[in-house]
Structure 1
Amino acid sequence: MEEAPSAESLLEALDDQQRLAAEALLGPVVVLAGAGTGKTRAITHRIAYGIQAGVYPPNRVMALTFTSRAAAELRGRLRELGAGPVAARTFHAAALKQLNFFWPQVVGGTMPRLIESKGRMLGHAAESLRLRLDTAALRDMAAEVEWRKVSMISVEEYGLAARTTRTLPPQLDADQAVALLQAYEDIKDQRRQLDFEDVLLATAGMIEAEPWVAQQVREQYRFFVVDEYQDVSPLQQTILDLWMGDRRDLCVVGDASQTIYSFAGAKSAYLLDFASRFPEATVVRLERNYRSTSGITEAANRLMRGRPGALTLVSADADPDGDGTGTASPRAKGRGSAAVPGGGEGFRAPQVSAFPSDGAEARAIAGAIAQQIASGIAPEDIAVLYRMNGQSAVLEQALGDAGVSYQVRGSQRFFDRPEIKQALLALRGASVSISGEPLFKSVSDVLRGLGWSQAPPEQPGAVRDRWESLDAIMGLAERMPAAAPSAPSPTSCSNGRRASTSRPSRPSRSRRCTPPRA
């Protein structure tokens, strides 16, 4: 068995800012960590250092994050640093483990089953109310279910929000939306099932109602670290407070500029107000960026200037040691962070553009590429990066319309993917017998037979990639005119933004469309 690193060697592997975070072991700590600043490195070394220094019993440390993939990465890095016994979980996984354990003792019997799809149950609720809702409306209302629960408001209180600030599907008024959410809860209770938000609510309820449960939970975990704290919701903050009790050994890490789940109830105010809530808190800023050149960080700083909590990033290539000298100390060279190449001669600063829709954005990108190729730039020197597989469809269509040949690296062309070919064959076959139904309804029925569901799967990798591809077809169908044929094709896709998804969508592996060599 490989020997765990010593406490001092753990600190030696960090830069000065990261080291400050790692050495702040006790009391409330907030680490404001910009993009590419080694946030995960800092917090995993902090935990490992606390264990090696004898401050943290490893089985009393809980590291919390928001996705299963991020939790798995934390566990892997902690094992490499000799901190394997530390619990690194998502909020839901931690709560579910506690709920499974305490339910038989508090309520009796086994815990109710978790529902697989809010959309399906909402569909049953809509039928009970004689409401005709399409797939997009059910998806939007699933998001409303989640928003209501993570915001910790009742169905009745949701009615006020529905009448004032919430955007509802056009088929529903506020009273119908309230009735639908209540019917969803009634059916769920009748079937003795829970959704993911219920897991957090039920766990919080047990800790609040049963002092012995609270005592047992707090005796098990003493030291908490929360990653991506800018995306915490009121419900997650509530259960974190219950886990903590009156203790103060909490370290939160985040960047308000990277908040991505506000539409799902996340509130960056918890991060921004942390130092006000805990006046004695240690505040550490990680602003040395190891991922980007100076041109990139300067553009990012300009873009975020004046926004609440914005950090000022400094590229490591401009100041490797962080001391203003522009030179790297021996310790800085040994941090283990990748060096960032400079912009080089002819480097152009990034430009930021905004567009009203996905289609407009894709057409602008395709037009710019066509102009660059016409000006003599080699096609192989041009790349388009995107974060989700489903985004490639509209980009590929725009490139084709502009007469730009392209290659998709890291994946296949959208309409060449096996699951897309299979879906198109099924849609063509179904179009013979379908008449009078809305296009999106016909398409969703066919895609469900191929394994598509309204909610994305928890599994990463191929399962997630397949879902994103099928979901992109659903998006194309939703954007097409009402009179369009039943099977979408590469040449019949209209542009526009699709309806929102029922739960926050996590980015998959980055892909890029690259024009082939001339």
Structure 2
Amino acid sequence: MTPSEPRFKPTNFPPTDEQLAIQTHRERKVVVVADAGAAKTTTLALRLAESLRRQVAPEHLLGLTFSDEAAAVLRGRLEEIGVAPTLARHVRIQTFRAFALQVLADQFNDRAPVRDRPEELAPMVREAVRHVRRRAEARCVAISSALPEYNAQIAEFLEISQFLKAQMYGLNDADEENAEPIEEHARERDIDPFLLRLHVEVERQRRLVDVIWRTSEDAVFDLVRLLDQSASSALPAFRVIVIDEMQDMNPITARLVEHMERAPRTFITAAGDFDQVIHSRRGATVDFVMSLVNAAGVERMRLSKTFRHGPAMTHATAYKKTTPTESGRVVRADIWVREYVASNPATAAPHVVKAIRAWRKSDEANRSEDQAVILRSPHLSIEIESALMTEGIAYRCEGFDSYLVRPETLVLRGIVAYALKAPNLLRIT
């Protein structure tokens, strides 16, 4: 048997030629350019399964994703294609955040508490605001904009702060407190200089000597900072690393991957659909990820067969993308366009309910799990969730919390329950 022949054969489907080539490749760095629904996650699972069959210990395999849901799907896919559950459980599959937190704890003995809830972060930000105000007053400098005080303003500031860290700003303590560099950095990033000063101050307080707290989003930033300062790599060695949804990589996650690929005999396979950048607010851009795709020493491979929709939709997609695409399914793709008032999302909810009921009565209906409502933002779920509940249609949310359990809703429900002396209003069914 030659090395290019697959040793692992999935139990429930025949891989395409493109999948087999990715499953058995021998290049150290491979980027898989994939279309939507082209079985990226399944293909990465095949890569891991092939490594297991070639006697690579599961502890030397790593799968990285950008969300807990994607990590669960990748692990589930391993079992679905025929990897024994006892073996699949030993493969390390984590989000970048979880991986960084674990390495910080295991390799650097850094177990700083994680603060992710807005009410936990607000006091730190307000203390930093007071410090920035005192410094401005001492220098007789007028603050040019309103610094965040309320929770909504603080949440917006934290988004800006995380974006700056995703771009590696302040990674190696290069940001000085004197005015000139701050003003220059602010102009370069088109950000208010006082917000940039606030970002620097929060970071200063967060890591006075050692890191005293972090958000889970800070974990990769903090780990890369330590790795950049370390004379030798403190990362655990992996033989095979796969990265799902590569289109959402940003400079700080890319720097972490650079550190990992320095280990000898490490093979990295990353897959993404570069038309679907989701985490732009975390610094991911098409231009940046394409620079990684086109970097020296990177082998490009392709997944061009989609299993998400049939030939009609595939043909339309190929026309839009101007890249060859084919369908791996023979299904009908019907599209109905229903217009609603953009300023009033509530008008869309009845259309969603009507479409769900019509589909369930159709000949194609199989399971309710085969239906999905795709939203651009979690706030759009409120009216649709309410309409589904009113109609008695069961649903679940993936990738975000139902509005019923979001903090602001729980506070309001608590007030109403107390006023009406009706504790049942707090019960989630």
Confirm or deny a common fold (TM above 0.5).
yes
Gaps in structure 2 of 5+ consecutive residues: 1-5, 134-146, 363-370, 420-424
SS in structure 2 at match of 1:194: coil
SS in structure 2 at match of 1:292: coil
Does the Cα contact within 8 Å between 2:220 and 2:252 map onto a contact in 1?
A: yes
SS in structure 1 at match of 2:37: coil
Residue 138 of structure 1 deviates from its aligned partner by: 0.8
Q: Which residue of 1 aligns with 2:273?
A: 255
- Is it true that 1:392 corresponds to 2:381 in the alignment? yes
Q: Deviations over 1:93-142 (max 9, x none)?
A: 222222112324xxxxx543233346422233335556562222111101
Q: Return the letter of the residue paired with 2:307.
A: Y
- Rounded Cα–Cα distance in structure 1 between residues aligned with 2:385 and 2:41: 35
Q: How does 1:28-427 map to 2 (within 5 A)?
A: 28-54=29-55, 56-78=56-78, 80-82=82-84, 83-84=87-88, 85-104=90-109, 111-117=111-117, 119-120=121-122, 121-129=124-132, 131=147, 133-154=149-170, 160=184, 162-163=186-187, 166=190, 174-190=192-208, 192-212=212-232, 214=233, 217=235, 220-245=237-262, 247=264, 249-279=267-297, 281=299, 283-302=300-319, 304-305=320-321, 311-318=323-330, 341-343=331-333, 348-349=334-335, 359-363=343-347, 365=348, 385-387=373-375, 390-395=379-384, 406=391, 408-410=393-395, 423-427=411-415
Q: Deviations over 1:413-466 (max 9, x none)?
A: x999999986545445899xxxxxxxxxxxxxxxxxx99xxxxxxxxxx9xxx8
Q: Return the letter of the residue paired with 1:392.
A: S
Q: How does 1:7-18 map to 2 (within 5 A)?
A: 7-10=7-10, 13-18=14-19
Q: Return the letter of the residue paired with 2:275.
A: S
- Rounded Cα–Cα distance in structure 1 between residues aligned with 2:165 and 2:245: 20
Residue 312 of structure 1 deviates from its aligned partner by: 4.3
- Rounded Cα–Cα distance in structure 2 between residues aligned with 1:356 and 1:234: 38
SS in structure 1 at match of 2:62: strand
Residue 292 of structure 1 deviates from its aligned partner by: 1.5
- The alpha-carbon distance between structure 1 residues 13 and 249, as it changes in their structure 2 partners (threshold 3 A), is same
Does the Cα contact within 8 Å between 1:317 and 1:342 map onto a contact in 2?
A: no
Q: Deviations over 1:66-85 (max 9, x none)?
A: 12232233234335514533
Gaps in structure 1 of 5+ consecutive residues: 1-5, 105-109, 168-173, 319-340, 432-449, 452-461, 467-518
Q: Return the letter of the residue paired with 2:125.
A: L
Residue 256 of structure 1 deviates from its aligned partner by: 0.5
Q: Please identify, of 37-46 and 93-102, the stretch whose mean Cα deviation from structure 2 is larger.
A: 93-102
Does the Cα contact within 8 Å between 1:61 and 1:222 map onto a contact in 2?
A: yes
- The alpha-carbon distance between structure 1 residues 349 and 74, as it changes in their structure 2 partners (threshold 3 A), is closer
SS in structure 2 at match of 1:72: helix
Residue 232 of structure 1 deviates from its aligned partner by: 0.7
Does the Cα contact within 8 Å between 1:226 and 1:251 map onto a contact in 2?
A: yes
Residue 235 of structure 1 deviates from its aligned partner by: 0.5
- Rounded Cα–Cα distance in structure 1 between residues aligned with 2:403 and 2:217: 36
- The alpha-carbon distance between structure 1 residues 415 and 40, as it changes in their structure 2 partners (threshold 3 A), is closer
Does the Cα contact within 8 Å between 1:227 and 1:254 map onto a contact in 2?
A: yes
Residue 225 of structure 1 deviates from its aligned partner by: 1.3
Does the Cα contact within 8 Å between 1:33 and 1:255 map onto a contact in 2?
A: yes
SS in structure 2 at match of 1:409: coil
- Rounded Cα–Cα distance in structure 2 between residues aligned with 1:159 and 1:430: 50
The TM-score normalised by the length of structure 1 is 0.60
Q: Return the letter of the residue paired with 2:381.
A: S
Q: Deviations over 1:19-47 (max 9, x none)?
A: 22112143221211222221111111111
- Rounded Cα–Cα distance in structure 2 between residues aligned with 1:417 and 1:239: 34
- The alpha-carbon distance between structure 1 residues 201 and 415, as it changes in their structure 2 partners (threshold 3 A), is closer
Q: Return the letter of the residue paired with 2:214.
A: L
Does the Cα contact within 8 Å between 2:68 and 2:94 map onto a contact in 1?
A: yes
Does the Cα contact within 8 Å between 2:345 and 2:383 map onto a contact in 1?
A: no
- Rounded Cα–Cα distance in structure 2 between residues aligned with 1:288 and 1:265: 29
- The alpha-carbon distance between structure 1 residues 362 and 21, as it changes in their structure 2 partners (threshold 3 A), is farther
SS in structure 2 at match of 1:258: coil
- The alpha-carbon distance between structure 1 residues 222 and 138, as it changes in their structure 2 partners (threshold 3 A), is same
Residue 396 of structure 1 deviates from its aligned partner by: 7.0
Q: Deviations over 1:300-320 (max 9, x none)?
A: 445x436xxxx54422235xx
Does the Cα contact within 8 Å between 2:22 and 2:301 map onto a contact in 1?
A: yes
- Rounded Cα–Cα distance in structure 1 between residues aligned with 2:252 and 2:403: 41
- The alpha-carbon distance between structure 1 residues 98 and 232, as it changes in their structure 2 partners (threshold 3 A), is same
- The alpha-carbon distance between structure 1 residues 396 and 38, as it changes in their structure 2 partners (threshold 3 A), is closer
SS in structure 2 at match of 1:88: strand
Q: Deviations over 1:329-381 (max 9, x none)?
A: xxxxxxxxxxxx334xxxx546598x995x34553x369789x99xxx97976
The TM-score normalised by the length of structure 2 is 0.71
Residue 407 of structure 1 deviates from its aligned partner by: 5.0
Does the Cα contact within 8 Å between 1:78 and 1:86 map onto a contact in 2?
A: no
- Rounded Cα–Cα distance in structure 1 between residues aligned with 2:148 and 2:37: 47
- Rounded Cα–Cα distance in structure 2 between residues aligned with 1:161 and 1:409: 50
Q: Which residue of 1 aligns with 2:422?
A: none
